[in-house]
C-alpha cells in the first residue's frame, strides 16, 4: 500500500513531463525545430519530443492557402484609374525557409501581390486589361512565384476577380459600344443592298439576253396579281406586241 502511495506522485510527474515535452505534428504540418535558438531539424508528422527551455518548435501548415488581395487603385498605361482585386493561391514547399528567410510569409505574400498587381496594370491599357485578364493573371503569378521562391513558397495560380472603372468611363464605353454596333449594322445593310443590286442586275441581263424571257416574266407577274380578286391591275403590253399590231393595221 505504501509503495502505491509513493509511486503515484512519480506517475503523475511522468505524465506531466510527457504532456509538456511531446508535441503532435499533424499530417498537413511540418515542425521547424530550434535548439538553443539555432535551427536543427524539420519534424515530420507524428508525436515529437521537444525539450522545454532548450528547444522550441514552430508548426507550418503545408496546405494550399488563398490570399484575398483587397482593392488596389492603379493607373493603366493609357492613364485611366481603375480598382482591381484578386485571389492568390500558394503553398509552402520548404518549411524551414518559410521561417528562416522571411519574418511573416503570409503578410509578405499579401504585400508582394498588391505591389505586383499595380505594376502589371500600369504596363497595359484598359482594353488589354479587360480583354486579356488571364494573360495578366499569369504574368502576375510568374513574378510573385519567382520572388517568393527563396522563401520556400510556390504560387499555384492568381485570379483577377474584378476590374472596377469610374462610372463616367462606364457610360463612355457603353456609348462607344453602341456606336460600334450601329456601324456594323449599317455596314451589313449596305453589303446586303449591294448584293441585292448585283443579283437584280444579273437577272435583268439574263432576261434581256434570253428570247421570250420577258414575256414569261410578264405572264408570271399577271398570274400573281390575279390570284387576289381585290387587286386592280393595269395591263402594259410589251413593245413587240405594239409593233405587231401596227404592222397588222398597215396591212388592212
Cβ–Cβ < 8 Å for 91, 65 = yes
**Contact between 67 and 90 (Cβ < 8 Å):** yes
Selected residue with higher pLDDT from 109 and 217: 109
Helix axis angle, 133-148 to 105-122, nearest 10°: 140
Q: Is the pLDDT of residue 228 over 90?
A: no
pLDDT above 80 (res 201): no
The pLDDT of 135-143, averaged and rounded, is: 92
Q: Tell which wins on pLDDT, 173 or 199.
A: 199
pLDDT at 74 over 70: yes
Over 90: is that where the pLDDT of 170 sits? Answer: no
* Whether the predicted pLDDT of 91 surpasses 60: yes
Hey, which of 29-43, 124-138, 162-176 has the most confident mean pLDDT?
Answer: 29-43
Local structure of residue 44 (DSSP, 8 states): P
The C-alpha atoms of residue 75 and residue 118 are separated, in whole angstroms, by 8
Phi, psi of 6 (to 5 degrees): -70, -35
The band of 238, judged by pLDDT with boundaries at 50, 70 and 90, is: low
| 37 dihedral zone (left: phi>0; alpha: psi -120 to 50; beta) | left
Question: How much is the average pLDDT of 97-124?
Answer: 90
Domains within the chain, CATH numbers bracketed? 2-59 (no CATH), 65-168 (3.30.479.30)
The predicted structure's pLDDT at residue 200? 73
Residue 217 has pLDDT above 70, yes or no: no
| pTM (2 d.p.) | 0.63
Residue 42's DSSP bridge partners are 32
Whose grid coordinates read 491599357?
Answer: 125
The mean per-residue pLDDT over the stretch 71-99 comes to 90
Task: Identify the CA nearest to 125 among candidates 184, 168, 159, 169.
Answer: 169
pLDDT for 184: 81
User: What's the CA gap between 122 and 226, in Å, rounded?
Assistant: 72
Write down the pLDDT at residue 218: 65
C-alpha distances out from residue 53 to 13, 56, 71, 99, 104, Å: 18, 7, 44, 20, 24
Amino acid at each position: 500500500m505504501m509503495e502505491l502511495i509513493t509511486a503515484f506522485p512519480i506517475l503523475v510527474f511522468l505524465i506531466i513531463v510527457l504532456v509538456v515535452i511531446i508535441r503532435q505534428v499533424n499530417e498537413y504540418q511540418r515542425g521547424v525545430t530550434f535548439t538553443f535558438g539555432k535551427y536543427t531539424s524539420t519534424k515530420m508528422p507524428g508525436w515529437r519530443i521537444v525539450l522545454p527551455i532548450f528547444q522550441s518548435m514552430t508548426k507550418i501548415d503545408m496546405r494550399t492557402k488563398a490570399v484575398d488581395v483587397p482593392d488596389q487603385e492603379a493607373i493603366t498605361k493609357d492613364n485611366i484609374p481603375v480598382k482591381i482585386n484578386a485571389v492568390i493561391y500558394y503553398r509552402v514547399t520548404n518549411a524551414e525557409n518559410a521561417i528562416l528567410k522571411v519574418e511573416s510569409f503570409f503578410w509578405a505574400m499579401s504585400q508582394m501581390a498588391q505591389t505586383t498587381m499595380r505594376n502589371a496594370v500600369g504596363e497595359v491599357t484598359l482594353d488589354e486589361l479587360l480583354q486579356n485578364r488571364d494573360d495578366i493573371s499569369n504574368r502576375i503569378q510568374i513574378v510573385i512565384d519567382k520572388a517568393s521562391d527563396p522563401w520556400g513558397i510556390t504560387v499555384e495560380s492568381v485570379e483577377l476577380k474584378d476590374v472596377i472603372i469610374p462610372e463616367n468611363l462606364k457610360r463612355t464605353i457603353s456609348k462607344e459600344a453602341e456606336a460600334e454596333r450601329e456601324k456594323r449594322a449599317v455596314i451589313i445593310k449596305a453589303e446586303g443592298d449591294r448584293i441585292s443590286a448585283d443579283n437584280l442586275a444579273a437577272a435583268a441581263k439574263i432576261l434581256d439576253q434570253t428570247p421570250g424571257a420577258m414575256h414569261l416574266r410578264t405572264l408570271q407577274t399577271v398570274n400573281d396579281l390575279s390570284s387576289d380578286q381585290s387587286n386592280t391591275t393595269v395591263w402594259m403590253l410589251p413593245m413587240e406586241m405594239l409593233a405587231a399590231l401596227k404592222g397588222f393595221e398597215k396591212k388592212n
